[in-house]
Amino acid sequence: MNEVSITAADLFTVSPIIALTATGFIVVAMGLWGARLSKYVILIVTLVGIGGAALLTIQLWDANATAFHGMVVCDNYALTFNLIFFAGAILSVLLAFNKYEESYLLYPEFSAITLFATVGMSLMASTTNLLIIFLGLETLSISLYVLAGIKRTESHSLEAAFKYFLLGAFASAFLLYGIALLYGASGSLDLKNVSAIVAESNNAGSPLLLFGSLLIFIGLAFKAAVFPFHMWAPDVYQGAPTPISAFMSTGSKAAGFAAMIRVLFTLSASAGTVADLTTIFSILAVLTMFFGNITAIRQKNVKRMLAYSSIAHAGYIMIGIVAWNETGASSIIFYLMSYTFMNVGAFGVVSYLGSKSGEFQQIDDLKGLGYQRPFVALLMSVFMFSLAGLPPTAGFIGKFYLFSAAVKTGHIALVVLGVINSMISVYYYLGVVVAMFMRDSEEERDYAKKTPVVALSLVLSMISVLGIGIFPSYFITTFQRLVSFIL
């Protein structure tokens, strides 16, 4: 570690990240010099950048390389998460091309910052080094603070950004403190070393270790919106522009859990951390589910409802962590993938309908949508049913898989509570469907028409939700294999 040497292999290993960063800079430059550039040119460059990064990711499949002396790990686990992040990013970027956003959004900045946020997520998933996790988290967070406040003239948007920033700063501090404690316990920042050292010195139960990993968990749980670290989510999701809420709610959750699984799995390989924390995790899972679902019932605003439901979904995913086996880990990946498509889709419908004069965010605004715009209503129903976990959608298989992991390890009570929550959630997701199809609107609303880019995102999301729901086999097999690798 004395001299810095960077090899070509190192660069190739991080090539998706490089591609994203480079595209980000190109987009910024285009914004600077080509002030008159059409926003569609920026869109195409962004999509090409993410697409290129995805291709590079696929190139790296099965490479199992590490780069920069083990600072970056490029296993299939990391690559899978990369693809999930990229899918979320692409779908969300497409959403920004709606009638409402057009009136104020600064497309070069928006695209570039989204790309940088994706870099942060990607870093969080592809490392076993605690500092890199922190680096990734900060890159992601700072980008998201900016994105949340990108609507500079709206007080809602600014409030969201500021709240997010304040609470986010706290969370970062927790994470950093946790890292410091782990370093104190073991003298290393690399999780694999930490784990090995702990195993050697035989002090698995050391309070430093336990407390340190708990603090790291808290820092990451904040990103994933796990109760009681969820406070930012509703205000931020509601206040931020809808495409950005879609991006945040899915990508940041996935990145949080990606890092969380990596940390907990690697540590517990020798130190048995998770076994000690199982009780805490199950309590958190139950509280998160109940809190999210019960508060979601009362919401009248679609985005806010989705925010609380997003908390609830973090609770379901926690069940997978409690299950603590390979099935659990792979079911979490599966769930995060499904969640990305269904949640971006749900936010996407709100975004799609927004017209120049404003967005239709209230559930009541959707009354009669089934008659005015049957296809949009149908899409929204698919996303709602998927979020509620009804077959034949991805949401159903995801939940089934999560629950099956927990039953496998005997956490039947937890699963029963999860199922009860599922039932509660059906009620408010159905509320949206009821409004769309079963209530008549008193007025004709000027829903936006002809926003093909946004429609493309919605259709892609729907195809994914149904496709994954009916033919999940390939994904499950793949995830199971790659999870067994990181253990």
Partner 1 sequence: MNFPILTVLTFLPLLAAAALILVPRDQDKMVKIGAFVASLLVFVLSLQLYFGFKSTADMQFSELYSWIPALGATYHVGVDGISLFMVLLTTFITPIVVLSSWNAVSKNVKGYMISMLVLEAGVIGVFVALDLFLFYVFWEVMLIPMYFIIGIWGGERRIYAAIKFFLYTIMGSLLMLVAILVMYFYCGALTGEYTFDLLKLQQVGLPLGYQTWLFLAFGLSFAIKVPMFPFHTWLPDAHVEAPTGGSVILAGVLLKMGTYGFLRFCLPFFPNALADFMPLILTLAVIGIIYGALVAMVQPDVKKLVAYSSVSHLGFVMLGIFALNTQGIQGSLIQMVNHGLSTGALFLMVGMIYERRHTRLISEFGGLAKQIPLFATFFMIMTLSSIGLPGLNGFIGEYLILLGTFLQHQTFAVFAATGVILAAVYMLLMFQKTMFGKLEKPENQSLTDLTAREIGLLVPIVIFIVLIGVYPNVFLEKMEPSVNRLINQVEARQANTSHSDQQDLAAGFDDRFHERSK
Residues within the interface to partner 1 (CB under 8 A): 269, 275, 324-326, 370-371, 374, 385, 390-392, 396-397, 400-401, 403-404, 407-410, 412, 415-416, 419-420, 422-423, 426-427, 430, 434, 437-439, 472-473, 476-477, 480, 487
Tokens of 227: 């109760």
301: left (phi over 0), alpha (psi -120 to 50) or beta: beta
Smallest separation (angstroms) from partner 1 to the CB of 364: 14
Instruction: For residues 432 and 380, give the distance between their C-alpha atoms in angstroms, rounded to a whole number.
Output: 9
What's the chain's length in residues? Answer: 487
- Of 27 and 260, nearer to partner 1 (C-beta) is 260
Smallest separation (angstroms) from partner 1 to the CB of 330: 9
Smallest separation (angstroms) from partner 1 to the CB of 230: 24
Smallest separation (angstroms) from partner 1 to the CB of 199: 13
Burial class (CB in 10 A: 0-12, 13-18, 19+), 471: exposed
- Of 115 and 390, nearer to partner 1 (C-beta) is 390
- Of 97 and 385, nearer to partner 1 (C-beta) is 385
- Of 67 and 269, nearer to partner 1 (C-beta) is 269
Smallest separation (angstroms) from partner 1 to the CB of 471: 8
Tell me which residue has tokens 């914004």: 31
Smallest separation (angstroms) from partner 1 to the CB of 296: 15
Smallest separation (angstroms) from partner 1 to the CB of 260: 18
- Of 44 and 275, nearer to partner 1 (C-beta) is 275
- Of 219 and 389, nearer to partner 1 (C-beta) is 389
- Of 28 and 378, nearer to partner 1 (C-beta) is 378
- Of 110 and 428, nearer to partner 1 (C-beta) is 428
CB neighbourhood size of 155 (10 A) = 9
Instruction: For residues 339 and 187, give the distance between their C-alpha atoms in angstroms, rounded to a whole number.
Output: 38
Radius of gyration of the chain (CA): 21
Smallest separation (angstroms) from partner 1 to the CB of 431: 9
Smallest separation (angstroms) from partner 1 to the CB of 28: 43
- Of 55 and 434, nearer to partner 1 (C-beta) is 434
Instruction: For residues 172 and 458, give the distance between their C-alpha atoms in angstroms, rounded to a whole number.
Output: 34
